[in-house]
Structure formats: structure tokens, C-alpha cells
Structure 1
């Protein structure tokens, strides 16, 4: 059944694919064909019907293969990814001690290189689209935009519009908004980069800025991004600063709505869930981030039952879509389902849906991507399912969530173009980029005024065996 496939077979302008399985919005289908032409899915349907309709086009048989939508990372920080191992063992809210100092020390060249490496990681992991919540790096955001476009990754790219809070001046706000509007104009029609406006956390902006930015996004048909109710510290900080929880703060200034995507939402009250539902505000559910640096897990199965739109996101932890699916289910089971006897916990399909077409809806691209359907952008994966792990499957949908791996991805397409084949780009030198970033990464980390609280694994072992405190002593606290 296993047939060797070559990259050259997938680089024609028109492809009529005959996979063993196609993952449609309604679920898995067999005996189907997919026609890709001019960067889009031109037709999808029963194989016999498409073969008759497009008889002059030679079909490419893909036995043992699945054609599925490229998965969507609903929350990323592309310029943080190279420093992801700094997050291990750290207390929550590491943005203050790690990410802000790290990003602020980067120059444009390294921003471009590190973002392109992060884009490569995403494509290798099965993501064809990422939603980036904005960088704090100095310089032009164009360095991130060009990096993702060169890598061939679709990106909803946020530009941060923080004005510092209610003490900001009209002049400060006008300058930030002028920059945001230039960004929207520059990328409004870009093939792969879709503009978004972002505010890092609600209290980092004035109420006037929050209201204006969300209104601009609604008028332009793009999304507004912000981090909300992520950690206990962030909730309490908002209560102290504004007298409201972060989600309540957004609601008070009219900043919730279909144009808004809140990152995390791990600590939400019943009333806040109803608020998300009534305003049609979307959420990015980031289960790996909860495990690595969080206080709680977003109630995603409840959100799904309530009809709250949400995407799955990595939060720049690891860019592996199949492991994210597994984490999405597992986190719900551990946090909520086991204690109430819910052995289904989403039934597998829930997580595939929210990694694909539901994720596309959450990040504002539901009309363009997320499913294998006529006239949608041809962002898709060819996945080898003729493997020892899956050859006996009786429920391939659920097995994709629990058993599938990144190395089964044979090919990744974005906009109908083959971008990666067997994990590597077909038209640029990824290993040269890896060497460039590796040469600079440790110097960038050493240069940044990072305050890391947890020791490395080796030092942790030494301290535990010695019976001493795990956390290094800090001279400023002596």
C-alpha cells in the first residue's frame, strides 16, 4: 500500500489528488478526490465524479495518505520561540522577567531570522497558519512579516498598540494609531500576511485606546488581540489597577465582540463565559502553556458546548500540531472531565475541528482557510497514515488526536504551493538559517537583562541531591 512519493510530483500548478482519506468539515471521507488550482481548492467530491469532470488532468494516487486542512496556531509569539527553553520551571507571568527583556534586545536582522526559524518550526509541525500576538522587539514589524512570507507560512500578524494606560496623552495615542493604520494599509491585501491590532494586556492601554483599536478592527474586518485572565497575578493586578477583572475591563469599554480574540481565558467565571458567548468574542485555548507556565486550564469543552468560538494555540511553547491536539484533550480530561466521569472529553473530533475550521473562524479567517472545500485557500497537509501506529485504526479521527506524529506529515502546502516536503523547505536552505540563529541566540540571551528564577535541569538535580533550595539565592533579597 505504501508508495514512494517525490516532491516533484507535488509541484505542478494543477493537482488532482486521490488520497485514501480526506478530512472534510463533516469528518473523514473515503473515495474522494481534491482538485488544487491557482492556489485554491477548485473542487472536492466523490472520486468518480471528479475524474469524469476533469478527465484531461492526470490524477496523483496517494494510497495510505490523508489530505487534511493545515492546522492553525491561534496564539503565537514568533520572536520569542528561539528562547522557549527559558520558560521551563518558571513561575507565571514570565513576560516581565524574560520575554520583554529578551525581545527588546533584538535587532531587525535577528528578529527576521528568529521569526523565520519559528515559521519553519510551525510548518514542520503541521501548522499552515499562525496568529501572532505582536512583538516588543525594536524596529519595523516588517521584519516579522517578511520572515513568515519567505518561509511560506500564513500569518495573522498583530502590531502592539499599547499607550501605557489612562495617563497617556492624545498625541501619544494619535502616533500609535497612525502607525497601526499604516500597518493595516501595507498588509491589507497581502497574500500571506493578514494584519491585526493588539494590546498586550488590557491595563497596558488607556480605555480610549482600547475602544478605538477594537472599533478600527471591527470596521476593517480584522481581529483585535489581547491577553486576558491568564494567571491569578494578572487577574489581581487588573482588579487593583482598574477595579475590574480583565474581561470585565474590556466589556466596560466596549472592547468585546466578534472582532476580538482573547488569549488564554484560563480563569473565567460563569458570568464571564456568558459574556464571551453574548458578545461572540473568540478565545485561544493554549493547553501546553497552561502546563508550562499557567495557573489553570481554560474550560474549552464547556466553551465548545456553549458555542464560544475558540482556536488552539501554542503560545510559542512547541510548534507541533499533533502534540497540541493531544494536549488539548488531555488538559480537559485532567482539569475537568475525570472528576465528573466524562470519558469522552470532546470525542476527538472537537480538537481537530478547533485546530482547523473552528480555529480559522476564531482568528477571523473562516471565509478563507480551515477546510478542504471549493474556493478556499489550498492550505493543506498530506499525512502518511499507513504506519504501524495507525494501520489497525477503527477510529482514525480520534487516533489522529492521540497517536499521530509530526514525522507522518509528508507535505505541507500554503496557498496551493508546496512549502515543505518531509519536514524541509523545497526552495530555501533551512539548515543555513538554523546555523545563523544558533550562532546568535545564546549571545542575545546573554545580552538581555533576563531574570530567570528556576535553575537548569542539571543544576536542579545537583540542588535536589544536595538537599538545598531549588531556586537560586538572589543577592538583591539578602
Structure 2
């Protein structure tokens, strides 16, 4: 049965899907969900919801799952022009690809890059992304505009690097940075889609004083401070040389760990560091695809979960496909940790679904706003077609969503109660026109940027090894 697209365009409606994904029950039949004013205004057994809203006619959704939109807790929206330039490259691609590219892009280029990334995220089932900060002075405005126009919820970080203890930082510089940070947070305080955040790119890029002040500012404002830490061997060694401590230890000494802090990666962590993360309430964005493509290690996400460390899933801008991210999250744990100890469950499916929805929302500071199908939360959801060969027959939908479901099943993407994508494409703007412009602009931008690749492209590599 074809779902009426027009229903999802109404200002107020009652959905009656075959299944609704609820926390902690999972796939639950017989539910009614009312959407109005951008929120879920009623969720419960259909008969009870109908009785409370006699003016609404339920829209039956047979063979459909209504589920929360996915949360990407670590992204770089202004890097989409160069996403495949990083394939096959060593770990520290930011030095040779991302910094040269982002700093070279003009304001309109940055807007196009961010809007393309937003489109990819929505197509992949993400209704929220957490952007870790851009290296361009024009990037914040570009990302905010792109997110608004695409209809993507975005946690937007302003980078507050002050050069590190051996840099050119002084008290006046720090005052200016903190003033700009406060302005940034105030600007987005009441925005329906864009939510303020602050970032330090890596701990040694800021003085200890700035690390502590930014963390305190985020704690006071109830937003997240984002930072890359313990990502790969080079970053750990650099921190040891510059600070005499590993990155997480450095953050701890500076007073920058805590419930306001979201650490991206944390792949190379010691037992002591895990306990520090747990005891301080610090959150982690687990990026399994980034580990597979350019990392030295896989974060011990199952151990983090067992210790009670707050955990979300991130793409790191690699591939904006939420279902493939779920699969990668479980597969990486199985290959690196599970096989060696005979753990055939590796999270039992639900662990990764929770981390990618409610857990991710909580990790990036939006746990009271999105991530679940629940009364009062923002109506950020997906409508998934279950009538596909991959799910016939269906015995364990939780596991099946992790291992068998795919982006092609996403029929509708709704953010803040508004239909953003229908069958993979925006409903109110021309995505193909955007892609045409991106192809023209990106070709020139990449050609002009001082990018340094270590390896040739795939075809050249094959010819050189034939």
C-alpha cells in the first residue's frame, strides 16, 4: 500500500503504523502517534489516542515502521567536496586534505558543501548531525543556512582554539574568543533546528586555560563541548610530546572532562582513561567507519557501554548512511573484540540502535528534545517500508535493522514535524540542481587547493601494480 504523502504535509495528523519503535520496548504494534506543531503531542495505544483526539482520522500505515530519526554525533559538514579524496590515505588527512581544502573554499563553496552533506545525511536517515567545527571563518554561517534550508537538525560548534600553550595566545585573544563563543551560543539558543556548541579541535590546539573556560561555558549553557581525542597514534604521541600527557589525561588536568564534553573517536584508550570518562560523565562519539577507513584502532565501544560511558555513533563525514553505520558499529566490535572472547552477541543489535538514536541525542545535548518517539519531543522520525525481501520473513526486527535494513527502505524523513524527504528526495527544493552546481564548483576548488595525497587514485594504483 502506498502511503499518502499529503498526510505528512498536514499541520496536525494521527499516524497508525504497523509498528512503532519505542524506548525501551523496541518494535511495538498497535500504537497511535499524533504530530502537531513540530512535536509528538500524543503517543500510546491507538484506541486510547483516538479517544483523546476524536477529530483526527487515523492514517493507517500497513507494513511500515515509524522510528526515530538517527543522530550523527560527529560530522564535518564542510568537507563533503573532498570525501573520496581521503580514500586509502594515512591517518592524519586533516593536515594534507581537510585544512587546505576548507581554508581555500569561498563562502558560497562552503554553503554548497554543507548543503550537499545535509542532503546526504537526510537521505541516509539522519535527522540530526553534530558538526564538530569548521576551519573556515565563513563556515558557521554556511552550515547554519544549509541546515535550515535542507531541514536538518544541527548541533553547530564554534571552534575556540587559541594556539596552545606554546602558541601566540594571550589573555586578550582568549577574551575575544570567549566573547565570540558566548555570542554564538546566544544566537542559536531558541532556533528550531540549529543548536549552539563549542569546540576545541584537539586538546593541544588550546591553552589549558582555554580548555577549562570553554568547558565551563558549555556546562553553564547546557550545551556540548566537542573535541577530538585519542584518535590515532600520531595524535597520542603529539600530545605526549607537547603536554607530557595523553589527550584524555590532558583534558582531565585542564578541567575539561565532564557531562558537557563530547569526545570524538577515543579509539586508543587505556583502562584508566575509560574510568576517567565514566567517572566524569564524559560522552564519546564512536566512529566505526572512520576506524575502518583511516584509523589505527577501534574504540572499545562495548566496554564503554558496560562501564556506563555515554555513547553515540558518528560518521566523521565518511558515509552518511545510518543503516550501514549500525552494521559497521557492530561488525567492528565483533572483529576486534568479540571474536577473541567468544562474544557472539556484541551488543545484541539494540545497543547500536539505541546509540544511534536516544543515546546519540543525549550525548550531543539533545536528549530532552529528540531521539525518541515520545510525547513532547520534536517530531523527528523516519517512515520505513518493511515490505521488502530483506525482511521477509522477519523474526527479530532489532537485529534486522542493524544487519539487513537499508537506506532504500526509508520512505519519508520528517524533521520538526515537516516532511523533508519523500522517497529519497527533498520535497521543497531542487537537489539535482544543487548537485550540478557542486560538480562544477568542487572541480575548481579541489584543483586550486594545495591538497597533498599520498596515494594515487584507484585506477592509477591498479595500472601501477599491473
Q: TM-score range by the shorter chain?
A: over 0.9
Residue 389 of structure 1: SS of its match in structure 2?
helix
The offset of 1:189, in angstroms, is 1.1
The answer to whether the Cα contact below 8 Å between 1:149 and 1:193 also exists between their aligned partners in 2 is yes
Q: Scaled by the length of structure 1, what TM-score is found?
A: 0.96
List per-residue Cα deviations over 1:159-186 (Å, max 9, x = no partner).
Answer: 1111111141112111211211111111
The answer to whether the Cα contact below 8 Å between 1:322 and 1:406 also exists between their aligned partners in 2 is yes
The answer to whether the Cα contact below 8 Å between 2:111 and 2:139 also exists between their aligned partners in 1 is no
The answer to whether the Cα contact below 8 Å between 2:133 and 2:158 also exists between their aligned partners in 1 is yes
List per-residue Cα deviations over 1:409-435 (Å, max 9, x = no partner).
Answer: 000011011110001111111111111
List per-residue Cα deviations over 1:330-385 (Å, max 9, x = no partner).
Answer: 00000100110000000000000000001111001001100000000100000001
The answer to whether the Cα contact below 8 Å between 1:228 and 1:264 also exists between their aligned partners in 2 is yes
Q: 1:24 aligns with which of 15, 22, 25?
A: 22
For residues 356 and 464 of structure 1, the distance between their equivalents in structure 2, rounded to whole angstroms, comes to 44
1:186 maps to which residue? 187
1:10 maps to which residue? 8
2:332 maps to which residue? 331
Q: Scaled by the length of structure 2, what TM-score is found?
A: 0.98
Q: Does 1:86 align with 2:85?
A: yes
1:195 maps to which residue? 196
1:467-478, aligned counterparts within 5 Å? Answer: none
The answer to whether the Cα contact below 8 Å between 2:110 and 2:139 also exists between their aligned partners in 1 is no
1:474 maps to which residue? none
1:241-256, aligned counterparts within 5 Å? Answer: 241-256=242-257
1:280-319, aligned counterparts within 5 Å? Answer: 280-319=281-320
For residues 15 and 333 of structure 1, the distance between their equivalents in structure 2, rounded to whole angstroms, comes to 42
List per-residue Cα deviations over 1:103-149 (Å, max 9, x = no partner).
Answer: 00011111111101100100000000000000012325112111111
Q: Does 1:405 align with 2:406?
A: yes
List per-residue Cα deviations over 1:47-85 (Å, max 9, x = no partner).
Answer: 121122212201111000000000000000000122110
The offset of 1:298, in angstroms, is 0.4
For residues 241 and 323 of structure 1, the distance between their equivalents in structure 2, rounded to whole angstroms, comes to 37
1:30-69, aligned counterparts within 5 Å? Answer: 30-69=29-68
C-alpha root-mean-square deviation of aligned residues, in Å? 0.8
The answer to whether the Cα contact below 8 Å between 1:119 and 1:148 also exists between their aligned partners in 2 is yes
For residues 311 and 15 of structure 1, the distance between their equivalents in structure 2, rounded to whole angstroms, comes to 31
List per-residue Cα deviations over 1:278-326 (Å, max 9, x = no partner).
Answer: 0000000000000010000000111111110011000000000000000
The offset of 1:270, in angstroms, is 0.3
Residue 450 of structure 2: SS of its match in structure 1?
coil
For residues 91 and 349 of structure 1, the distance between their equivalents in structure 2, rounded to whole angstroms, comes to 33
1:143-222, aligned counterparts within 5 Å? Answer: 143-166=142-165, 167=167, 168-222=169-223
1:341 maps to which residue? 342
List, as ranges, runs of 4+ consecutive aligned residues in structure 1 with deviation greater than 3 Å: none
For residues 59 and 130 of structure 1, the distance between their equivalents in structure 2, rounded to whole angstroms, comes to 31
Number of residue pairs aligned between Structure 1 and Structure 2: 463
Q: Does 1:123 align with 2:126?
A: no
The answer to whether the Cα contact below 8 Å between 1:106 and 1:138 also exists between their aligned partners in 2 is no
1:236 maps to which residue? 237
For residues 176 and 59 of structure 2, the distance between their equivalents in structure 1, rounded to whole angstroms, comes to 53
Q: Does 1:424 align with 2:425?
A: yes
The offset of 1:5, in angstroms, is 2.0
For residues 154 and 224 of structure 1, the distance between their equivalents in structure 2, rounded to whole angstroms, comes to 17
Residue 141 of structure 1: SS of its match in structure 2?
helix
For residues 212 and 452 of structure 1, the distance between their equivalents in structure 2, rounded to whole angstroms, comes to 37
The answer to whether the Cα contact below 8 Å between 1:107 and 1:138 also exists between their aligned partners in 2 is no
The offset of 1:98, in angstroms, is 0.6
For residues 365 and 185 of structure 1, the distance between their equivalents in structure 2, rounded to whole angstroms, comes to 16
For residues 153 and 115 of structure 2, the distance between their equivalents in structure 1, rounded to whole angstroms, comes to 12
The answer to whether the Cα contact below 8 Å between 2:284 and 2:312 also exists between their aligned partners in 1 is yes
